[in-house]
Amino acid sequence: MTAKIAINGYGTIGKRVALAVKAQKDMKVVGVVKTRPTFEAWTAVENGFKLYTPSKSVAAMEEAGLAVAGTQEELIEEADLVVDATPGKIGDEMAALYRSLGKKAIFQGGEEHELCGTSFNAYSNYSEALGKDLVRVVSCNTTGLARTLYPLWEAGYVRGVLATMVRRAADPGDSKKGPINAIEPSLKVPSHHGPDVQTVIPGLPISTVAVKVPTTLMHLHSVAVELKKNVKPETIIDRWSPLRRIMLIDGSKGLPSTAQVMEMARDMGRPFSDLWEIAVWRDGVHVKDGVLYYFQAVHQESDVIPENVDCIRAMLQMETDPQRSIDETDRRMGVGVRRR
């Protein structure tokens, strides 16, 4: 079976999921939805995707010279599953549409957990999504925390976690958000990230705080883990090393900041210069007085992309074994090909 996937919303996340699905052998993109005739509508067509639009936007698209294959509803009807990559907080409206057309759908981290009742991270809870109708792939920050914390939690090392999120102010293609010359703390403690991690790692004792800074490249996390056992940094690194979605990097080898990490990603020549892996500074992993400290960088635009592909396989029960899905996704996309 080749699963037919619709991409509803072709922005930062939608265009990346579309290419990742296209790279797989067991699923294909039947079309993408754009609401306005922007440059992304043109690149969608140039990338070989059929363009669909809400019925009220058909005329505007055609006037701009774009070939419209049909309406949003027609695309959803044709698909086995919809990846919803519309902007956050219109999930209720979209979920009602998918339900009325009897379709499964994946939502993104801008929606609340309660919209779907199931949140997803491939390493920590793939099996929970098996056969489900609505599932939410957690946000970029939550994905980053889940990727590195789950292997430690599974090994029984974790007594408690305090993670500080230094968040990028906006994506590189976004000129509306800020701050551009300020550091803005989230005055709510814990920030929403801690409870969000618990939706994919139930029971993990985690608290999070967050500050927004004027950068667009990546988020940076400073994580402190109170350990149950006296574990050496090398043992922690050995838990992460086999995992392709974690990239161990060294500040001492020319990667002291997110600037060089993203320069390395650009050098790697991937689509959109993405870094799907969570970059963890090997030389920043320390254990002092029973507390593990580490730093990780999260490419917010792309770390959730492989998770969307795995979530499709789980929801359509195309693969019940998490590792086999992860292996297939990674192989087709090229995740983890460079280990440092």
Active-site amino acid positions:
140
Q: Which residues are CB-neighbours of 158 under 8 A, at least 6 positions away?
A: 149, 152, 204, 205, 225, 226, 227, 228
**Pick 94 or 204: Cβ nearer ligand NAD:** 94
- Contact criterion met (CB below 8 Å) for 76 and 103: yes
The letter for the amino acid at 262 is M
Phi/psi for 88 (5° steps) reads: -55, 155
Taking Cα atoms as reference points, which of 333, 301, 214, 330 lies closest to residue 11? 301
Phi/psi for 173 (5° steps) reads: -90, 10
Pick one of 3, 6, 75, 85: the residue that binds ligand NAD (CB under 6 A): 85
325 binds ligand NAD (CB under 6 A): no
**Pick 139 or 319: Cβ nearer ligand NAD:** 139
* Window of 82-90, 116-124, 175-183, 220-228 that interacts with ligand NAD by CB under 6 A: 82-90
Pick one of 24, 118, 121, 300: the residue that binds ligand NAD (CB under 6 A): 300
- Contact criterion met (CB below 8 Å) for 105 and 83: yes
Distances (CA, A) of 246 to 82, 160, 296, 297: 28, 21, 9, 10
310 binds ligand NAD (CB under 6 A): no
8 binds ligand NAD (CB under 6 A): yes
208 binds ligand NAD (CB under 6 A): no
- Residue 300 C-beta: closest distance to ligand NAD, Å: 4
Taking Cα atoms as reference points, which of 25, 6, 15 lies closest to residue 319? 25
308 binds ligand NAD (CB under 6 A): no
Which residue shows structure tokens 């919803």? 84
- Residue 3 C-beta: closest distance to ligand NAD, Å: 20
**Pick 6 or 285: Cβ nearer ligand NAD:** 6
Which residue shows structure tokens 């969570």? 278
101-160 binders of ligand NAD (CB under 6 A): 108-111, 139-140
* DSSP category for residue 336: T
336 binds ligand NAD (CB under 6 A): no
Pick one of 301, 307, 319, 328: the residue that binds ligand NAD (CB under 6 A): 301
Both structure tokens of 117: 């009742």
Binding site for ligand NAD (CB under 6 A): 8-14, 33, 35-36, 40, 85-88, 90, 108-111, 139-140, 171, 300-301, 304
